[in-house]
Amino acid sequence: MKLNINSPFFQFMNTLAEYILLNFLWLICCIPIVTIGASTTALYYVTMQTAREEHGYIARSFFRSFKENFKQSTIIWLIMFFLGAVLTFNVSFWFTMKSTIGNVLGTLVSVALLLYLFTLFYVFPLLSRFDNTVKQTIKNAFFISLQNLKQTLIITITNILIVLVAYFLPISGIFFVLFGFAFFAYLNSFQFVKVFKCYEANLDEDSLDEDASSSQIELPEDEIVR
């Protein structure tokens, strides 16, 4: 019996193997903790390539983005980690006060925490796609998440469902270890590609080439947030 490597089965198995590899690279590169930002940036660089049907070598693309964005993504990760810890602590603190002012302040901080999550979801995909300063990247992530609220809510719901599944179904941990994180990043990438497309419209298409000297598009600081 002759095997057809172009059959749907082999195509599926090939895609599955690619995402197992990508998921493994992301997990391994997250182990030092401080490199979570660089690893996540590289993950979204690869998954957004796939979502745009720009296929390339997964490991090479991953480590290319990891290396190019390491400094900025690490600084952003440390900033976002610290800010997230402060906001989470304040939400817990004010609601445990069990008073009117505590509830009011707890609600206000909860809104701030939600806006923080919106920014966190966008900041690393944005960094993987556009070249900008740390401050401007975080600022752009915040405003873009609000300007594209429909896609932001879809991404938020998707990520919340991931957390709930992982919490209530411990056996799902096997799925996440194998390819789950890369798979859900891929799902989110369709929304990011849709959002970023309008900001890329007036940019030189040559800069999107996989063989270009940079994995990112150079973006003026005022190109997105006006």
* Secondary structure class of 56 (helix, strand, coil): coil
Q: Are 73 and 127 in contact (CB under 8 A)?
A: yes
CB atoms within 10 A of CB 204: 11
Give 64's contacts (C-beta < 8 A, 6+ positions apart).
42, 45, 215
Residue with tokens 């603190």: 93
Residue-level pLDDT at 226: 29
**CB contact at 8 A, 52 and 190:** no
Helix (H/G/I), strand (E/B), else coil: 130: strand
Q: What is the pLDDT of residue 170?
A: 78
Per-residue exposure over 25-37, b if at least 16 CB sit within 10 Å of its own CB, e if not: bbeebbeeeebbb
Give CA 165 to chain center in angstroms.
Answer: 19
Is the whole model's pTM more than 0.85, yes or no?
A: no
Beta bridge partners of 131: 218
> Mind listing the pLDDT tens digit for each residue in 62-113?
999 999 999 999 999 999 999 999 999 999 999 998 889 999 999 999 999 9
Dist CA 181 CA 25 (whole Å): 11
Domain segments of the chain: what residues?
A: 8-218
Would you tell me how many other CB atoms lie within 10 Å of the CB of residue 19?
21
Residue ranges in the chain whose pLDDT is less than 70? 1-12, 202-226
For residue 187, report the phi and psi dihedrals to the nearest 5 degrees: -60, -45
What is the Cα–Cα distance from 41 to 127, expressed in whole angstroms? 7
